[in-house]
Amino acid sequence: MRTVLITGANRGIGLAHTRRFLARDVRVFATARLPSEAGDLEALGRAHPDRLTILRFDARDPQGPAGLKQALGDQPIDLLLNNAGLGDRHGFGAIDATTFMDVMAVNTLAPLLVAQALAENVAASSRRLIANQSSQLGSIADASGGAYAYRASKAALNMITKALATDLRARGVTVLALHPGWVRTRMGGANAPVDVDACVAGQQAIFDGAGPADSGKFFNYDGKPIPW
């Protein structure tokens, strides 16, 4: 892995991936909605000015992916990690249409638009890998109740992953859906059982070993397959 782009890298899993890739001597393009307020990410940038580039990207902005493309130009990207996401736990009887559509825009549409904008950058690299940060809550086979917007957004992202795997196969691009586990982050909460470093180490092991035969598959952070 030579170059990666990570959306939502200002905190949590995205920040931990950034930190670990830098430790592995990988060049990282890391996005944040408000870079000036991403103190931990900016500190990493000061420590690694030659290998970390921080880019502004708002997953709610339909023009955001075009901005990333403009900033990157023809730069090859070995791994595009669509990590930016929005949580929502509202259950039946408490669904708000505006919130629902906001979650879909961030968790579903944005990763598709980023993949569309940067497909040629990925195809020009040696690894040719796109990974979408999904969730087991998007698995229809495992679905229970509640969290309608979040579940729907991740189920739709899984469908997008499968479709991208088909549409980008001719360009040699591998596309994965990932479940990070229930991770101790601001979104996951203090009682979550999975340490963020364990999640990131497991996911990067998946990235290192993934190839065309894995395209269109859905993996837990420990490498085990998850039913759709």
**CATH number of the domain to which 144 belongs:** 3.40.50.720
144 pLDDT band, cuts 50/70/90, is confident
Mean pLDDT of the chain: 94
| Positive or negative torsion for Cα 111, 64, 118, 34 | negative
Instruction: Kindly tell me if the per-residue pLDDT of 100 is higher than 70.
Output: yes
What single DSSP character describes residue 77? -
225 within domain boundaries: no
CB 197 within 8 A of CB 16: yes
Instruction: Kindly tell me if the per-residue pLDDT of 189 is higher than 80.
Output: no
CB 85 within 8 A of CB 48: no
227 within domain boundaries: no
What single DSSP character describes residue 175? E
Would you give the distance in Å from CA 38 to the centre of its chain?
A: 18
Write down the pLDDT at residue 188: 54
**Average pLDDT of span 24-33:** 98
Q: In sequence order, which residues have a C-beta less than 8 Å from that of residue 137 and are 6 or more positions away?
A: 143, 147, 150, 151, 154
Write down the pLDDT at residue 186: 58
- Give the separation between CA 160 and CA 96, rounded to whole angstroms: 24
What single DSSP character describes residue 134? -
pTM comes to 0.94
226 within domain boundaries: no
- Give the separation between CA 49 and CA 42, rounded to whole angstroms: 10
Domain count, the chain: 1
Residue 102 CB-half CA count within 13 A: 9
Write down the pLDDT at residue 89: 84
26 within domain boundaries: yes
193 pLDDT band, cuts 50/70/90, is low
| Range(s) of the domain holding residue 103 | 3-220
User: Hey, what are 83's tokens?
Assistant: 């990590």
228 within domain boundaries: no
Instruction: Kindly tell me if the per-residue pLDDT of 192 is higher than 80.
Output: no
185 pLDDT band, cuts 50/70/90, is low
87 within domain boundaries: yes
Single-letter amino acid code for the residue at 189: G
47 within domain boundaries: yes
11 within domain boundaries: yes
